[in-house]
Chain A
């Protein structure tokens, strides 16, 4: 009967089975080794390796630990300037940030927490003051976004900033779900950025121009600091509320004064945003409500930021924030 023969033909002895299993195992090992081999051969640089040339050189001399202090006593949301927040606008102009994104965004926080009141409930206070809080990426030292990235497209540099490799990002937006500060943005379409931005050499430290379908955020401008300039936001602040500095050297400046970071933070009761989450931000806040700029806590309202470019790249899309 042909079935019996068939069976004999297919019969596998124990030795043969072990041989086959060995071969299979070897193939599986090759499968594990393959990705790294491909990676080495593909010409795609390992994240941060060549971009961090200057940082690496610095590591041999002295490792900078970039940080920021935002003095909320001086921030009046640019009410006195009769202008939208200048930090946001300068960042947008300097990085050609696409339309709805504000890598540094000024939020108006209520001084007492009355946000969760039901419509029939009365607030405890007759008046409720606010303060303005410019919010860049916090450059967390325990960054939730870096932890969840499936492809290592975002990482913590030795100097502190959390950077993004736009050539590796797959656009899953897991990091945006993980970020407790909502400081990450997605290019939902071809970014509406001007053609002149195409001349800029893109690096993770200077994400210009942006690509479609990837995540972008404040990069903390370490390349500007290294060449002795303050970030766009700090340069633009008319109240000099934004200090940029180096924790390693314990020094920071707003372009007007130089302060010793540890003393300045301790003497002014500085805090970190949502510090209870354990993200260990590199951005510190000095509490206040713009009193140094003459603002009263009840002076409400911010002007809307605009995205003024001289021209817009052809074929690009502009999108709005949902529901706001």
Chain B
């Protein structure tokens, strides 16, 4: 207990809530995990068929040779932006309200990156030759940039998540006592690498986190840019855009913020964290979401105007297929549900509440998935030779693997959230619960701005003295 010094009643409640999932498992949890496992098993059957018969079982063919898998790969790479980048951004700007939400977001990043690499595995024709990436990798290939970028980003994100978790792991292993079981305690103790909460350790950890925070921002930007270059480095008109890199980065932040909102809403319910993840958190993230929706609108408009003004042959075909052709349903759902709806919901005071922002976040992610889909499929559909344009419809195997992949993502998030302390207790202690600007720069100078628990005089007394 001395790890965090004196705590208020509110902070004690937070600690209880965070420890609850570590101590016991509810029935709802097992039902949820069972549902996910069924979906994963279903995906496994589909993957077995695909491994046996080849990509023959998908809807892809020579003319549209990438489809749902690559769209999902790009989507999950984008989803990974949620944790590391947004949390780094909030840490760097010293937004103290970040403390209760970033742990979950960082966990989601790791899960999303693992899922994204799975979809590469689903897509390649010879998964048995995956080691060729290491044996024969050529630096000239955008795909290799992506492989090494992804490995760097994943390692960095895991380290970033882990570093900020060390004090909490020590705290949990100390506090949970015998009810927790010796073996489990041992794991947490091992993971907390002899954290004793000394001043020296604290200073080192702070330095390490600052270094990682600053390092992760360019790494995340690199990752999404390099992903866009898989498409941008080809001679296909709809992908031939210098804007693709920044466009993908913005799209990733947009869907990442949306995913944090969804995760917060679930965590708040599941772990009874209503007191700590407040309306204010949803509001702030909602504003960020709307801002990035506007940025996405800007990018789309600038691309459409530059191409639509000149109307070169391939660009005309591409615009036609999106606005009124085969991809029109996907495109217009993206525009109205994926961009317009989130902006409107957050702009209108009447809908600017938890439910509204949650709806906006879900719509933003559906929209971003559809955008990835029409970028991949639409880009390949523009014919390069005189023939009737090809069509692509994902087969049931692809849909099944999509279900399986999404279930793996959800299972990873669920299990990690279950086994790890879901809220950064020590950061909450240092920033959110600490009082006044003296101990937390950029903190809650105005008492009316702070958490519900701030009225508790214990918090003021609990500031490190």
Contact = CB atoms under 8 A, between A and B. Distances in A.
B388 to A, nearest CB: 6
Contacts of B236: 177, 180
Interface residues of A, number: 63
A3 B147 CA distance: 42
B66 interface: yes
B386 interface: yes
Instruction: Say whether chain A's binding surface is mostly helix, strand, loop, or mixed.
Output: loop
Interface stretch (A187-195, A253-261, A287-295): A187-195
B137 A150 contact: yes
Nearest to B230: A174
B298 interface: no
Q: Which of A4, A9, A150, A189 has the most CB of B within 10 A?
A: A150
Q: Interface size class for chain B?
A: 35 or more
B390 A322 contact: yes
A6 B386 contact: no
B213 to A, nearest CB: 22
Given A116-B316, A173-B66, A188 B392 contact: no
B19 interface: no
Nearest to B194: A10
B172 to A, nearest CB: 15
B313 A113 contact: yes
Q: Which of A109, A144, A174 has the most CB of B within 10 A?
A: A174
A113 B32 CA distance: 57
Contact of B61 (A174, A180, A188, A279): A188
B134 A35 contact: yes
A234 B138 CA distance: 35
Contacts of B124: 170-172, 213
A57 interface: no
A110 B385 CA distance: 11
A176 interface: yes
Interface in B235-291: 235-236
B230 A181 contact: no
B198 A7 contact: yes
B95 interface: no
Contacts, number: 181
A300 to B, nearest CB: 12
A169 B64 CA distance: 19
A117 to B, nearest CB: 10
B201 to A, nearest CB: 8
Interface stretch (B50-58, B341-349, B414-422): B50-58
A126 B171 CA distance: 83
B136 A168 contact: yes
Nearest to B380: A177
A177 B234 contact: yes
A170 B126 contact: yes
Contacts of B138: 149-152
Contact of A322 (B61, B134, B147, B198): B61
Interface in B138-183: 138, 140-144, 147
B21 interface: no
Interface in A155-203: 168-174, 176-178, 180-182, 184-190
Contact of B141 (A109, A110, A116, A150): A150
B141 A174 contact: yes
A324 B391 CA distance: 8
Interface string B180-200: 000000000000011010100
A151 B194 contact: no
Instruction: Say whether chain B's binding surface is mostly helix, strand, loop, or mixed.
Output: loop
B310 interface: no
A54 interface: no
A107 B198 CA distance: 75
B62 A107 contact: no
Interface string B124-140: 11100110111111101
A186 B60 CA distance: 10
B202 interface: no
Contacts of A35: 134-137
Contacts of A118: 320
A10 B55 contact: no
Contacts of B230: 174
A258 to B, nearest CB: 31
Interface in A281-322: 317, 319-322
B133 A150 contact: yes
A185 B140 CA distance: 22
Given A177-B65, A186-B62, A186-B125, A150 B234 contact: no
Interface string A36-66: 0011001010000000000000000000000
B126 A171 contact: yes
Given A150-B141, A188-B55, A189-B53, A38 B129 contact: no
Given A189-B54, A277-B235, 8 more contacts: A42-B135, A150-B147, A170-B130, A177-B234, A180-B235, A190-B54, A323-B392, A324-B388
- Shortest 6 CB-CB contacts between residues of A and residues of B: A171-B125, A213-B125, A189-B56, A323-B391, A322-B61, A150-B143
17 contacts: A6-B194, A9-B194, A35-B136, A105-B385, A115-B386, A150-B137, A151-B138, A152-B138, A153-B132, A170-B125, A172-B143, A173-B65, A177-B236, A180-B235, A185-B62, A187-B54, A214-B126
Interface of A: 3-4, 6-7, 9-10, 35, 38-39, 42, 44, 100-101, 105, 107-110, 113, 115-116, 118, 135, 144, 147-153, 168-174, 176-178, 180-182, 184-190, 212-214, 277, 279, 317, 319-324
Interface of B: 53-56, 58-66, 123-126, 129-130, 132-138, 140-144, 147, 193-194, 196, 198, 201, 230-231, 233-236, 313, 316-317, 320, 380, 384-392
